[in-house]
């Protein structure tokens, strides 16, 4: 009933916005290659709208709606930098909820109508391809992208999450079946506190059937690089290569040939492994056809048959499986078993990067387990068989922390 009321309210709001927008545009006329400031009807919030330099009204254009970080103002700059001001309409979204002013449920209830109003306004004032509308954001904006974007996935083409993870429990999929087949880009700094939730989010979206592109910003913490190479490529796939014109196809073919040639030519096992993984995880590869994919898989099999790539690959696969288990812990036994799995991984594959990361996860889960045991000491006598100890807290993820609910 609550969802129905909210949907009805949003529909009424959009009807009012449509009638207001039809009579008098809110803000200046949009111009190709120029960023405009638009005041949204009713809320009075201001968004930034940029039309690409190659914009033409007789074509339909994909859109990236983008939320800023905590305390940030609407911006189109980061996405535009990765598109060279071409190919995409970019909208810098405002927050209508003051920072830290309201609890999360109220935040979503306020922001979702604003997002829909922004999309409504843009559709009335620019030539939008409604089948290619993407939602993204950085830091607070990344968490907001999950919070609002997952329920809206039936009406979105994909998501961009920077420096953040998911805003929902990992047993919850508010997008229903709409995840499957849609592209998502997740990027985070190597040492960011949000990296663990970002990786966990990556496992969730993959298991829901989304086409994942994951990028780790080496040497950075809670910051985006001036140029995120894989984000640039991901955006190209959503438009430039999406058109499948002759020039784009030729460019794709040349890239694929060069990447395969470089991986085949590498004589150092670690370098061959690195080049092959880069190729396999590049969002362009699926566009190059099944033969290219099979060739890359063959190179991976060749590289991982020898050390040290053999150990690195085995450790990485074990790590991601354990990380997924850590998203849905319900009992102390599950928490302990997952902790022990990370510990074994860190010992067996100590020389690998993933073994070293596993040691960090083991410490994290060990601290959580010890706190839980200290807060709930075992009973003096064993409980009867089949009787649950209701004093055991249940862990859940909150940001990058585990919180124990009784």
Work out the average pLDDT over 104-114. Answer: 88
Query: Per residue in 308-338, pLDDT tens?
Result: 999 999 999 999 999 999 999 989 999 999 9
Is a pLDDT exceeding 70 seen at residue 187? yes
Work out the average pLDDT over 246-253. Answer: 93
Name the architecture of domain 32-238. 3-Layer(aba) Sandwich (3.40)
Quick one: pLDDT at residue 243? Answer: 79
Quick one: pLDDT at residue 333? Answer: 93
Question: Would you call 48 helix, strand, or coil by DSSP?
Answer: strand
Work out the average pLDDT over 174-189. Answer: 98
Query: Per residue in 284-311, pLDDT tens?
Result: 999 999 999 999 999 999 999 999 999 9
pLDDT band for position 24 (50/70/90)? very low
Quick one: pLDDT at residue 337? Answer: 96
For the chain, the average pLDDT equals 87
Query: Per residue in 27-78, pLDDT tens?
Result: 568 999 999 999 988 788 999 999 999 999 999 999 999 999 999 999 999 9
- Token pair recorded at residue 310: 């053999």
Which is more confidently placed, 391 or 146?
Answer: 146
Is a pLDDT exceeding 60 seen at residue 182? yes
Query: Per residue in 198-215, pLDDT tens?
Result: 999 999 999 999 999 999
Which among 163, 166, 139, 164 has a CA at the least distance from the CA of 150? 166
Q: Which residues contact 160 (CB under 8 A, 6 or more apart)?
A: 64, 66, 79, 134, 135, 136, 137, 145, 184, 185, 231, 234
Query: Per residue in 122-131, pLDDT tens?
Result: 999 999 999 9
Asked whether the beta carbons of 134 and 155 are under 8 A apart, the reply is no
pLDDT band for position 102 (50/70/90)? low
pLDDT band for position 103 (50/70/90)? low
Where in the chain are the domains? 32-238, 246-303, 309-377+391-405
State the DSSP H helix or E strand holding residue 141, giving kind and residue range, or none if neither: helix 140-152
Dist CA 203 CA 32 (whole Å): 39
Quick one: pLDDT at residue 6? Answer: 36
Quick one: how many helices (H) and strands (E) in the chain? 12, 10
Q: Which residues contact 24 (CB under 8 A, 6 or more apart)?
A: none
Quick one: pLDDT at residue 10? Answer: 39
């Amino acid at each position: 009933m609550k969802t129905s009321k909210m949907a009805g309210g949003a529909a009424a709001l959009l009807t009012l916005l449509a009638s207001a927008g039809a009579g008098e545009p809110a803000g200046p006329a949009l111009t190709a290659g120029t960023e405009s400031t638009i005041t949204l009807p009713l809320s009075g919030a201001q968004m930034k709208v940029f039309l690409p330099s190659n914009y033409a009204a007789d074509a339909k254009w994909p859109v990236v709606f983008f939320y800023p970080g905590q305390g940030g103002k609407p911006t189109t700059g980061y996405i535009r930098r990765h598109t060279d001001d071409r190919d995409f309409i970019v909208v810098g979204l405002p927050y209508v909820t003051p920072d830290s002013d309201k609890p999360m449920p109220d935040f979503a209830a306020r922001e979702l109508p604003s997002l829909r109003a922004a999309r409504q306004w843009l559709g009335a004032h620019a030539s939008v391809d409604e089948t290619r509308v993407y939602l993204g954001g950085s830091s607070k904006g990344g968490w907001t992208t999950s919070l609002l974007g997952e329920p809206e996935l039936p009406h979105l083409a994909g998501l961009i999450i920077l420096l953040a993870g998911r805003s929902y429990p990992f047993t919850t999929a508010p997008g229903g079946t709409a995840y499957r087949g849609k592209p998502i880009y997740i990027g985070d700094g190597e040492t960011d506190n949000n990296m663990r939730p970002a990786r966990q989010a990556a496992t969730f979206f993959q298991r829901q059937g989304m086409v994942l592109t994951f990028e780790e910003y080496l040497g950075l913490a809670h910051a985006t690089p001036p140029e995120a190479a894989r984000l640039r490529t991901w955006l190209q796939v959503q438009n430039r290569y999406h058109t499948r014109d002759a020039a784009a196809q030729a460019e794709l073919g040349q890239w694929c040939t060069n990447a395969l040639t470089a991986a085949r030519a590498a004589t150092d096992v670690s370098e061959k492994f690195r080049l092959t993984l880069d190729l396999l995880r590049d969002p362009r590869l699926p566009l190059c056809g099944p033969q290219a994919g099979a060739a890359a898989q063959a190179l991976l099999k060749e590289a991982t048959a020898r050390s040290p790539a053999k150990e690195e690959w085995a450790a990485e696969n074990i790590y991601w499986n354990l990380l997924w288990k850590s998203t849905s812990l319900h009992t102390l036994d599950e928490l302990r078993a997952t902790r022990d799995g990370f510990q074994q991984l860190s010992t067996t594959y100590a020389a690998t990067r993933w073994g070293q990361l596993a040691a960090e996860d083991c410490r994290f889960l060990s601290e959580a387990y010890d706190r839980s045991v200290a807060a709930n000491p075992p009973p003096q006598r064993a409980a009867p068989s089949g009787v649950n100890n209701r004093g055991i807290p249940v862990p859940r993820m909150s940001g990058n922390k585990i919180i124990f609910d009784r």
